[in-house]
Structure 1
Amino acid sequence: MDVELDLQAAYSGTVDCPDHDQVALWVSTVLAAHPDETRDEITVRLVDNQESQHLNATYRGKDKPTNVLSFPFEAPPGIPLPLLGDLVVAADIVAEEAAAQEKPLFHHWAHMIIHGTLHLLGYDHIDPDEAETMESIEIQLLAELSIPDPYHLE
């Protein structure tokens, strides 16, 4: 599925960030696995820790930066719009996590974009069964991109 991507580069640090085509590929991989999904427009905003922390505190009550925030779009009743929602990704957090997990930076970028997009589709990982379902989908989609299982790194 083709995706209509608005990639906003609000990050000005030194972390190597993915380009439009890379992010579009990762989002499209998720949407292709959900053929009944008709929404194909998404905004992905790459931010610094300060913006991530502000949004996380404002919308989740957690006063710290986080790797990815997902904001699903809910259309007014009776008005079909192709908007899936917004992802906000903290570049420094993604880089720190990739280094801590000793995996390639762009593998972790792909994981975070896929993870966030699944959240936009309604997946969650609050309880163990939901987490297992979401993780198994992530592993499968990442494998399609030749990226190893991010949960069982050796």
Structure 2
Amino acid sequence: MMNKGFNLVMGATLLLMSMGGAYAADKNVQVKAKVVGTCDFVDANDVVIDFGTLTPGGGDQTKSATTSFWCSNGVNYTVSLDNGLNPDGGGKRQMLLSGGTATDVIGYTLTPDKTTGTATGQSTPISLTLDAGVKGTDYQDAKIGDYNDTVILTVDLAP
């Protein structure tokens, strides 16, 4: 009798084992992502370079301002500036007198301290200094008033 019970348990175990294997199937699950290259400024504030009060006879003036940006790790970037709202025919940047005519301008230079590089990601922002200059001869005969211009600063992925 003991032998019969053992055979019954053994048979049921073998049956369950063979049924379990018949219902199993494997499939790979692939998990993917793509990181794209991008650049952005650290903050949304405008960069302001203010020469303050220019007094005729005061000579050449220079000012600087700094901003920060980041680009995706490993991408090459370029920094560029457009010619502003009031360029002369040759592309020279000019500040225009508020309410003035097209001839009421003061020429100026604007230069970034870097124009290309390789970024290392969002956690390591890149500092960018913009140097501006105005020659004393460009404002010695200027009308009194407030002069300004707006230039677009672009940080982009290098081609």
Bigger strand fraction: 2
- Please report the TM-score for the alignment, with normalisation by the length of structure 2: 0.24
The structure whose RCO (Cα within 8 Å, separation 6+) is larger is: 2
Bigger helix fraction: 1
Compare CA radii of gyration and give the structure with the larger one. Answer: 2
- Please report the TM-score for the alignment, with normalisation by the length of structure 1: 0.25
